[in-house]
Structure 1
């Protein structure tokens, strides 16, 4: 089934998909106009999920959050429940004080988080699913408001579980973790033009060393690697899905010239942009 609410005036879109034989997203093609975040719940057995050409195990009874620009395919889409929503429907940045998910389950580091549901958690998510199904039967003027409430509850549950499973609160209390989240948001916003940690440290009124110490507590990746990983991810996407040259991609990502971009790409991926595109074009 596929249900959705769309407001012609505000362009707000909320969609729920379940028990469907097809569920995928092609951001650089068919779906480019739909800027949707996705919360996907695997209700079946373990299956593969392909995200930007990389294959991951999507474990049974887990939830995974997908970004607007991620292209994905699922091995068994009929076992997936997906909630998809646009910024106009519910802006997680504007409502971060309510849900505290930005810079973590969304707009966070490249690490893929598959969030496990215990029996009680599963019942909560099933209740939200059932309530969403019921609300889609009620075509009234407050339907969108009710869906926003249910979506917010879902995001809060997923964020809380992700923190329990991926964050050590003893070594990284909330105030310190919020700095990391803010850093991730800033990187997502400025990575194409700002490649050095100093810029982000200044925005957060912290020293680069302080940020390095915090990230060591979190995931052992340096703040600089977070920036470089985001640049590499976007470079790969543009090489995968567009006809842009390495020179054009380097320019889009803020590199001074094509040679500088090529050196960066090869140092981080082990291949030149040309080699990478040729190998992946052959595979596809």
Structure 2
């Protein structure tokens, strides 16, 4: 069952997907022109598999998973899930970060995938939001959009609070230091194709590369340079699996001036050359053992 609110004037979209096989994400293949972020709730005690960008993960029972627009995802039993989806025209988490504080943490964060475990009180709160959303989806007046945005903000804020506790972020870092890490994560998502050096991000954040690296070490996170490389490789893998772009085209798309440099970089970080990786992924997708 799907409930949907669309603001024709702004293009704002807010969707609630309840126990539907239609729950999936097309990632970079999506025909949607706007970015759509997703919250998925497993309300059952049973764990199930979710494939995100062709990697299999186990989503625990009674848990929540934030997903971003460029992620391709499929659930083993989507009919057991409930999800909320929204685009930036409905609610921009970047422009309104001061309200919800989720950018670079829940969305575009270091923890991936971020499975947030839900207790009894959390499940009750989500159930309240669900019922209020269903009721407001039936209202067709000028206040409808604002009411639905209020419910979405409540969901985001509650999820951010739970995630901070479960990742020990509150204990390891002050809000100011966590904000620097979140800002880095957002900058990385925006500029990883053209900015491959830590010095670029450090300069934007008005920090030295060493200070930035030390902050990530203090938080127990990988070094910024490692995160930059990981993000580039993730995007390269998406192109290799979901498009017919050549290695040369992908390299240029990701900011490498030399195809040979990109090929060496990919081989160094993955252990496979570009053609080997694409062949292996196609075999896995067809159900064939690559060995």
What is the CA RMSD across the aligned residues, in angstroms? Answer: 1.2
Distance in 1, matches of 2:171 and 2:28, equals 41
Question: Does residue 8 in structure 1 map to residue 8 in structure 2?
Answer: yes
Q: Which residue of 1 aligns with 2:153?
A: 152
Question: Does residue 21 in structure 1 map to residue 2 in structure 2?
Answer: no
Aligned positions of 1:114-125 closer than 5 A = 114-125=115-126
Distance in 2, matches of 1:107 and 1:147, equals 23
Q: Specify the SS of the correspondent of 1:170.
A: helix
Deviations 1:159-217 (A, max 9, x none): 00000001343331111111000010111111000000001000011111111111112
Distance in 1, matches of 2:115 and 2:31, equals 24
Is the 1:26–1:32 Cα contact (8 Å) retained in structure 2? no
CA-CA distance at 1:30 after TM superposition: 4.7
Q: 1:247 to 1:39 in 2, by over 3 A?
A: same
Is the 1:108–1:184 Cα contact (8 Å) retained in structure 2? yes
Distance in 1, matches of 2:64 and 2:97, equals 20
Is the 2:64–2:117 Cα contact (8 Å) retained in structure 1? yes
**Deviates most, 29-38 or 225-234:** 29-38
Q: Specify the SS of the correspondent of 2:38.
A: strand
Distance in 2, matches of 1:174 and 1:217, equals 14
Aligned positions of 1:15-164 closer than 5 A = 15-44=15-44, 45-109=46-110, 111-164=112-165
| Structure 2 gaps, min length 5 | 286-291
Aligned positions of 1:185-196 closer than 5 A = 185-196=186-197
Is the 2:34–2:88 Cα contact (8 Å) retained in structure 1? no
Q: 1:30 to 1:198 in 2, by over 3 A?
A: closer
CA-CA distance at 1:25 after TM superposition: 1.5
| Structure 1 gaps, min length 5 | none
CA-CA distance at 1:110 after TM superposition: 5.6
Q: Which residue of 1 aligns with 2:217?
A: 216
CA-CA distance at 1:19 after TM superposition: 1.6
Is the 1:41–1:61 Cα contact (8 Å) retained in structure 2? yes
Distance in 2, matches of 1:57 and 1:47, equals 6
Is the 1:14–1:85 Cα contact (8 Å) retained in structure 2? yes
